[in-house]
């Protein structure tokens, strides 16, 4: 066993954290090799995007993963936490294009190859930054196995999946209505569209019926799209319009004849019961158009301007076009009225631009055949969501899934492995680039310019990172992974896609469990964002408070699946906890200078038995909570044990043994218990606060190189001592009661008091006699009198009753009763005046009518506070015999 010199006076997290992380990584403690002799535990890190720095969401996500990994590693599992980063197609390309714009360049000035060189430079810079930040957080991931979604192995996996799905008929190319971002200039999937309520208008327009003086009336929120109308629709059962079905109306401003059709999509109860049908600019209209073989007229360019089909409005921005069309409708007598209307508007999740539905030729994945096995896996609990309520959310989305548009009009990403013959038009989809057309032999082949949706590649993450499509030993050993830890906001983006991809290509779930955590919100409960300016940089927090403080703050009070509010006050509290641990450990170490662990003691004091039992129960509580993914509950249990039981009680209870003239055996016992409980507690706390625990553990007598490879403490029923716990609980309650009396009577801490205790029973008497040294020392008692049954209640004494035990503190010679009565009466007079003032306000109707709610609330709070204090003063006076 070895131990270093004593701890420094103050804890410096910056020095400690850098030192120990380098030590762990240099010694390969994070690395896991295939070992059939050990049970595997595997987590794949949700890969951060290479678009900048980590945010607080990454901090909580990686803290949770690290806690689970360190814990399982200490339990003896062969633990692999595989790190990596994501190329984040849309976001990363946008960042690099912004950078180029500052230089007065565009991607077209560079060309595809040169532009991609710039993006790779960006990736390298920000990847290194992210990796450094993850290390700062204490992430014990296996850096030797780090992956990137566009590295050679992952890219090969992506290409194989595309080719296999294409040849199986599950990937197809077709014209379809898609979500188009006019800013990012690419399509995005349905779940990448964020819908928010937005103030707008309903423009009511009348369309003339051909060869008639009749009109049909309808309303739209997007007048600019009417230029692409190819029908108006009514419900088949709507008697008002049956005579018009099959006839035509004239499209205002355009003059084009369009048919009146009947379709059950129309709600006859909404508005006039007539709707315009624009198949190229609305998803629902697109479906109606397919059913009725309507033409699709696209009137907008992909930059959000109007095209040649818009006629005189060609070249106008879509919103300027809207304005001009409304003016022209009014001039032509077609505009009936305008109503204010709040409606849900889709925005790009990356840049916030309003999405434009457009018909475009894109690549799609047929989802129904892939979804079925993934649905079944969740229903059969082969993959289990924690908390369980997220299973329903997952199943609801999967059971109503639509085909997935996977092509993106970008340069950065996995390019679609499809080539087109320029001579015969043959479409070639192969894993390796073809040299010539298999149909006509031409070498004039051109690859599809689009790239795949980022989520297509990250959907393969649990198995592509382990070497698939090759059947490497790592894949056979670590797959399926044990648990996925991720935020509730990407269940559809990522979790669902990993499950159905794994079921298709691995025939097995990608992970056994999905541990869902909430978002980190600001103190007001708002989502952190750049636009609000309310984000908190985790690295800045680490530099000021230390990684352990940030980690522990993010965990305590956190429950699975629920959002967490970030308060700097909680950071201060957690830093105080770290300092408490440090100072307590310094005290223990200073009292272990002459100590060498040997045989366990045979005789323990009540306090020794109590702390050993409490520690053992804490082991069980923490372990059970971790098994149930209640990491916040585990952390809270540790906090309460360390702060309240070990530091505030046990250390104080054994000080007389360490400082006094006790026997060497008694001193050794106290030292042994202090050492063993502190060492075990550091192991329990290590997954949560890895740096401070390593530093303290290294100073304690120990075996081994690092705390992170030590055995996780195990619950031992033989160590539980309910009798000792009950006895010490009684003793501590008596001590607290005496302390409360001293506080109430303003007895200076330096003054010792006489205390008389009426035990009330032989059993209580026996316990209190055994614990007498604790009572005398911690309650500052001069003379302690213990009686099983008092003949009479002591005169002029303050009293309390705890668990049937009567406690009396005679005030004679301790407190000047007359002076105390005078002080209390003066305090009472002040309180009554304050109450009268507050009552005057609260009984004044003018004040209640005019004052802001928060001002009234403050006055009510003052009233409650003063009333409570007044009652306490009256009770003290009564105890002193004053009515």
Q: Which residues are annotated as a binding site?
A: 530
Judged on CB neighbours under 10 Å (0-12, 13-18, 19+), 435 is exposed
- How far is Cα of residue 688 from the mean position of the Cα atoms in its chain? 16
Tokens of 105: 């360049």
Overall residue count recorded for the chain in this entry: 883
> What angle, rounded to 10 degrees, do the helices at 56-74 and 606-627 form?
120
Between CA 693 and CA 684 the distance in angstroms is: 9
Tokens of 58: 């990454």
Contact (Cβ atoms closer than 8 angstroms) between residue 89 and residue 412? yes
Contact (Cβ atoms closer than 8 angstroms) between residue 479 and residue 466? yes
Between CA 189 and CA 283 the distance in angstroms is: 13
Tokens of 82: 């595989």
* Longest CA pairwise span in the chain (Å): 116
Q: Is 843 helix (H, G, I), strand (E, B) or coil?
A: coil
Between CA 578 and CA 402 the distance in angstroms is: 51
Between CA 783 and CA 745 the distance in angstroms is: 18
User: By C-alpha distance, which of 811, 545, 587 is closest to 699?
Assistant: 587
Q: Which parts of 209-270 are beta strand (E)?
A: 215-220, 231-234, 248-250, 257-262
Pairing of strands 451-452, 231-234: unpaired
**Binding site members for ATP:** 530
Between CA 266 and CA 231 the distance in angstroms is: 13
Pairing of strands 418-421, 445-447: antiparallel
Tokens of 814: 């301790």
Contact (Cβ atoms closer than 8 angstroms) between residue 145 and residue 82? yes
3-state helix, strand, coil in the chain (%, to 5): 45, 20, 35
- Rg of the chain on CA atoms, in Å: 37
Unique residue bearing structure tokens 């609801």: 396
Within 8 A by CB and 6+ apart from 578, the residues are 11, 13, 546, 548, 549, 552, 689, 692
Within 8 A by CB and 6+ apart from 814, the residues are 745, 747, 751, 753, 754
Between CA 673 and CA 651 the distance in angstroms is: 10
Q: Write the DSSP string, 96-148.
A: HHHHHHHTT--HHHH-HHHHHHHHHHHHHHHHHHHHHHHHHHT----GGG-EE
Residues in a beta bridge with 486: 516
Residues in a beta bridge with 360: 176
């Amino acid at each position: 066993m070895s131990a270093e010199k004593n701890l420094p006076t103050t804890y410096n997290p910056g020095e400690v954290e850098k030192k120990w992380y380098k030590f762990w990584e240099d010694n390969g403690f994070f690395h896991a090799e295939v070992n059939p002799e050990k049970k595997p535990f595997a987590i794949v890190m949700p890969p951060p995007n290479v678009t900048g720095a980590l945010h607080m969401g990454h901090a909580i996500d990686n803290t949770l993963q690290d806690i689970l990994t360190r814990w399982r590693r200490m339990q003896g599992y062969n633990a692999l936490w595989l790190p990596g980063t994501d190329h984040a197609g849309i976001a990363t390309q946008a960042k690099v294009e912004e950078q180029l714009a500052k230089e007065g360049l565009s991607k077209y000035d560079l060309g595809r190859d040169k532009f991609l060189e710039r993006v790779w430079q960006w990736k390298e810079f920000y990847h290194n930054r992210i990796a450094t930040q993850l290390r700062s957080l204490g992430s014990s991931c296996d850096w030797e196995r780090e992956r990137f979604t566009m590295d050679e192995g992952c890219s090969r996996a992506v290409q194989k999946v595309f080719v296999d799905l294409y040849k199986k008929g599950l990937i197809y190319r077709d014209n379809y209505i898609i979500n188009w971002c006019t800013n990012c200039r690419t399509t995005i999937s349905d779940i990448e569209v964020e819908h928010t309520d937005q103030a707008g208008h309903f423009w009511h327009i009348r369309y003339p019926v051909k060869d008639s003086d009749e009109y049909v009336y309808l309303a739209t929120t997007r007048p600019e799209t009417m230029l692409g109308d190819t029908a108006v629709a009514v419900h088949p059962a709507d008697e008002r319009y049956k005579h018009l079905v099959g006839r035509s109306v004239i499209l205002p401003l355009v003059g084009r004849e369009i048919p009146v059709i009947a379709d059950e999509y129309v709600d006859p109860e909404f508005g006039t019961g007539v709707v315009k049908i624009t198949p190229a600019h609305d998803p629902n209209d697109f479906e109606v158009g397919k059913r009725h073989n309507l033409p699709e007229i696209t009137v907008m360019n992909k930059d959000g301007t109007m095209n040649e089909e818009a006629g005189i409005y060609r070249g106008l921005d879509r919103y300027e076009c809207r304005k001009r069309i409304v003016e022209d409708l009014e001039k032509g007598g077609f505009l009936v009225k305008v109503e204010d209307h709040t409606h849900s508007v889709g925005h790009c999740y990356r840049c916030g631009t309003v999405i434009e539905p457009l018909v475009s030729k894109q690549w799609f994945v047929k989802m129904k055949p892939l979804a079925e096995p993934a649905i079944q896996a969740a229903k059969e609990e082969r993959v289990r969501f924690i908390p369980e309520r997220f299973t329903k959310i997952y199943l609801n989305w999967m059971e109503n899934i639509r085909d997935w548009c996977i092509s993106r009009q970008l340069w950065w990403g996995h390019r679609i492995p499809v080539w087109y013959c320029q001579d015969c038009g043959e479409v070639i989809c192969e894993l390796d680039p073809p040299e010539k057309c298999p149909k006509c032999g031409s070498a004039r082949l051109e690859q599809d310019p689009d790239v795949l949706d980022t989520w297509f590649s990250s959907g393969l993450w649990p198995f592509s990172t382990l070497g698939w499509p090759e059947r490497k030993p790592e894949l056979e050993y670590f797959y399926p992974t044990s648990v996925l830890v991720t935020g509730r906001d990407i269940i559809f983006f990522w979790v669902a896609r990993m499950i159905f991809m794994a079921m298709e290509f691995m025939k097995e779930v990608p992970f056994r469990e999905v541990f869902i955590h909430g978002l980190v919100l600001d103190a007001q409960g708002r989502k952190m964002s750049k636009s609000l300016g309310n984000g908190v940089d985790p690295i800045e927090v680490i530099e000021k408070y230390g990684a352990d403080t940030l980690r522990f703050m993010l965990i305590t009070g956190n429950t699975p699946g629920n959002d967490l509010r970030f308060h700097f006050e909680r950071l201060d509290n957690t830093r105080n906890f770290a300092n408490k641990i440090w100072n307590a450990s310094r005290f223990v170490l200073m009292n272990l200078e002459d100590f060498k662990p040997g045989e366990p003691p045979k005789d323990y004091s009540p306090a020794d038995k109590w702390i050993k039992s409490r520690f053992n129960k804490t082991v069980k509580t923490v372990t059970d909570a971790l098994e149930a993914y209640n990491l916040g509950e585990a952390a809270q249990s540790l906090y309460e044990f360390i702060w309240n039981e070990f530091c505030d009680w046990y250390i104080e209870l054994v000080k007389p043994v360490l400082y006094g003239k006790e026997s060497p055996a008694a001193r050794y016992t106290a030292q042994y218990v202090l050492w063993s409980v502190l060492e075990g507690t550091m192991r329990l706390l290590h997954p949560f606060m890895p740096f401070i625990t390593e530093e303290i553990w290294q100073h304690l007598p120990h075996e081994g190189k690092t705390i992170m490879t030590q055995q996780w403490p195990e619950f031992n029923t033989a160590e539980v001592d309910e009798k000792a716990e009950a006895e010490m609980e009684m003793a501590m309650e008596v001590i607290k009661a005496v302390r409360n009396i001293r506080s109430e009577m303003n007895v200076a801490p330096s003054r010792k008091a006489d205390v008389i205790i009426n035990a009330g029973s032989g059993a209580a008497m026996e316990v209190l006699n055994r614990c007498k040294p604790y009572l005398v020392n911690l309650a500052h008692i001069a003379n302690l009198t213990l009686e099983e049954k008092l003949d009479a209640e002591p005169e002029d004494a303050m009293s309390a009753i705890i668990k049937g035990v009567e406690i009396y503190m005679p005030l004679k010679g301790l407190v000047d009763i007359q002076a105390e009565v005078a002080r209390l009466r003066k305090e009472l007079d002040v309180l009554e005046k304050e109450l009268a003032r507050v009552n005057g306000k609260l009984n004044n109707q003018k004040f209640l009518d005019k004052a802001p709610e928060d001002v009234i609330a403050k006055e009510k709070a003052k009233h409650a506070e003063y009333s409570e204090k007044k009652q306490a003063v009256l009770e003290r006076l009564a105890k002193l015999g004053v009515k």
